[in-house]
Structure formats: structure tokens, C-alpha cells
Amino acid sequence: MTTRAAVVGVGHSRMFRRDEVPLGQLALEACRNAIADAGLKPADIDGVCTNPEQGFEDAGSIDGINIVTPGFVEQALGLRTRWGLRVWASTVLKAFATTVDAVAAGRCNYAVVFRAIYNPKGRYGQGANPAGYAGNGQSGGGGQFTGPYGVTAPANAGLVAQRYFHKYAAKREMLGTFLVNNRKNALLWEWGYWYQHRPEPLTLDQYMNAPDVCWPLGLYDCDLPVHACGAWVITTPERARDLRHRPAYVRGMATPYSQIPNRTWNLEEFEEGGKRVAENLFESARIGPSDIGVANLYDGFSIFVPLWAEALGLAAKGEGLAFLIREESRIGGRTPINTSSGNLGHGRMPGVAQLMESVLQVMGRSGARQAKHADISVATAGLLTEGQAIAFGRDPA
């Protein structure tokens, strides 16, 4: 057997729009839930990992309020760890992959990996120093080529979307049709923001008439910042067999270090980057596109979803959006996409819903969202130029 680790428990905290509850408390909720889901006790856990940094500047660094470190959880749960690590990354997939490696290497037996996301009151990123700007209104470092032009993350996504629409003759209506269906998925995803706080459908009219953020992208193309935590328990395949649920075997991982900081996002670079991540994943998992039974693809902005689908070979180049509005990519179809509703349904917790649902699908625990052929599931996260992907199997390899 070549598979060396499996997920045996998943957990999530209550979901808040903003910091009504200290983040540390939510992290403990998520970790306790994941440990209990595995049928384990905190005393069994001997490994802990997370990437505590938040996705915006000026988030603060108070442990338990603005961020949650491995040490916080270790202390609060009284863990006796043999292995622990604080990872620097934006999405949780890198911390997750590192934890898989630690378990596979025998550094610990049962590890918990979590991701706590902080969202303070007030407008996101509207603090004293919005991203890319120094406090005095100047732009230094890599920001000197973007800040003076008023470039934001949504503006970057808008550039990619406009290029995609122009190059492949795609239309906003197609993205809207995908999002209308995605909201249906969101209303089946019990941990998410929309399910818990605004369980309402989205119509194509609402989508088309929503305020522009960075045309051609509007309000519903952008994920919503939230305040919550997700967690997973990972162990070896041998130990996994004795636990509560059918394990989700980790079949392959792609976590390249290819970030080019402060670069303007560009469609062609996203296409190349995504292709590299997919090739890396397929090689690692020894699978191909047709083996994927269900995929949860990162969607910090909606336009990323067709690009990830194309990168993974689920659709031809330029045909990702057409694929996403066909029955085959919906729940009940041959290869359902974003059964978790992704960031757009769950909230801005990069990689959390994607990983949770990919695990639940191969465990056979996705209920109304369950894919017909969930032998292999794939989760992706991140911008495609710096993205990560993990494949899970119903069976070990």
C-alpha cells in the first residue's frame, strides 16, 4: 500500500459574519468537533498544525483573537504533542499537506490541522493601511507598480474575467447561471454562511442587476468575509481502520511554491499555473481527469472555477464555463463541481469548504450532495499561479 495517511474526522465551528465570538473559542470548537467526529479524545492527539496568518493587512496578532496558533490549541485542549508546526500560507491546503507528511513520516500518530479565519467589524481591508499601501499614502515594494493605479484583488480578478470573456466569447449570464446553481448547493451546505444566515435562493436577475465591484465582476462573484474555523484529524491508514468513519485516503498532493508576489493577475499565467498544479497532482496521485468523481474548486472569485476545471482537464480550454452550466457538473450529474458551494457559499475561508467536502464525499457522508461516483475527489485552493490541489480516495492505493 502506497497511501500513507487518511482523514478520519472533520469539524467546523459555528459560522459568524464578524467577530462576535473570540476566534480562539471557534478554533477549539472546530478542533473538538473534528476529534469527536473521529471517535477520538484530545488525549489521543499528538500533532497540531495551522497557517494562522490572515488574508489582509492589519489583522492584528493577538493569539486567540486575531489569529489562532498551534500553541493556543495545544494549551487549551491540553494536548501532549510530539509534532507541531506553524505554516506560512494563505490557504489551509499547505498546512494540511504538511500534516499529512508528518503523519506519514511517523512524527505523530493523530494530528489535528485547523484554519481559523478572523473578520473584524468594519469594511474588510479598509483599515489604516489597505493592502498595497503604506500608511502615508505611498506604495513601496511590489506595491509600487499596482498601488498608484488603484489595483485591488477584485480589480485583478476583473482583468482575468474580462480577458476570459473576450478570448473565449463567454458571457456574464453563464457565470450567473453557474452562481444561481451554486447557491442551491450552498443551501445544502450546513456549515456555510448562506445556509446558516441567509438561506435564500439567488436568481439570474439578482445576479445581473447586482452592483458592479470590478466589472465584469459584480457583488455575487466575490466571496464574503466570515469569522469561523474548520478542522481535520489525520492519521495513518492502519490506525484509520479502527475509527468511527470510513477513512478518506490522501491519494495525492500538489503544493508547489510558485508565488510571484505583487504581480498583476493575468489569464494566460493562470492557465499555465493551473496546468502545472494539475500535472503535479495527477503524477502524485497516479490518476487522470476521468478518474475525478467530484471536485471542489477554489472560488475566491467566481472566475477561478472555470479556470480550475480547465486546468484539471474536466473541460477543454475556454470551455470551463460552458461545462459549469451543464447538468453533468451539478449535484446528481456525472462530475459534480463545488458540491460544498465553495467560498462563494461557505464564506471566505480559502480551502476549508473545499477540503471538508472532498473528505466527506469519499467517506460517503455528503447526504443530499453525495456524488454518484465519489471514488476520487479533488480539492483545489489559491490563485492558479500559486495554487494547491489534493486528491482523496474512497480506497487506499
Partner 1 sequence: MPKPYPIPDDLTRPFWDAANRGQLVIQRCQSCRRFQHLPNVMCLSCGGADLAYEPVSGRGTVHSFTIVHEARHKAFREIQPYAVAAVELEEQPGLLLLSNLPGTPLAGIHSGLKVEVTFETVSASQRLPQFQPTGQYNSGHVTAGVER
CB 342 within 8 A of CB 296: yes
Q: Which is nearer to partner 1, 144 or 290 (CB)?
A: 144
CB 78 within 8 A of CB 42: yes
Q: Give the count of beta carbons closer than 10 Å to the beta carbon of residue 151.
A: 21
Is residue 288 at the binding interface for partner 1, with CB under 8 A as the rule?
A: no
Q: Which is nearer to partner 1, 125 or 313 (CB)?
A: 125
The window from 155-163, 311-319, 324-332, 375-383 that contacts partner 1 (CB under 8 A) reads: 155-163
The window from 39-47, 259-267, 279-287, 309-317 that contacts partner 1 (CB under 8 A) reads: 259-267
Site for partner 1 in 185-224 (CB under 8 A): 211-217
Shortest CB 260 distance to partner 1, Å: 8
Q: Nearest to residue 299, comparing CAs of 341, 258, 261?
A: 341
Taking phi first (over 0 means left), then psi (-120 to 50 degrees means alpha), and beta for anything else, what does residue 341 get? left
Interacting residue with partner 1 among 259, 264, 284, 370 (CB under 8 A) = 264
Interacting residue with partner 1 among 151, 250, 362, 381 (CB under 8 A) = 151
Is residue 318 at the binding interface for partner 1, with CB under 8 A as the rule?
A: no
Residue 136 is placed in which grid cell? 502615508
166 burial (CB, 10 Å; 0-12 / 13-18 / 19+) is exposed
Q: Which is nearer to partner 1, 25 or 162 (CB)?
A: 162
Site for partner 1 in 106-145 (CB under 8 A): 125-126, 130-134, 137-142, 144-145
Shortest CB 19 distance to partner 1, Å: 20
Is residue 149 at the binding interface for partner 1, with CB under 8 A as the rule?
A: yes
Helix (H) or strand (E) holding 26: helix 23-37
> Residues for the chain: how many in total?
397
Provide the Cα torsion 17, 350, 329, 34; round to 10°: -80
Site for partner 1 in 321-350 (CB under 8 A): none
CB 377 within 8 A of CB 389: no
Residues near partner 1, by CB under 8 A = 125-126, 130-134, 137-142, 144-152, 154-155, 158-163, 166, 211-217, 262-264, 266-268
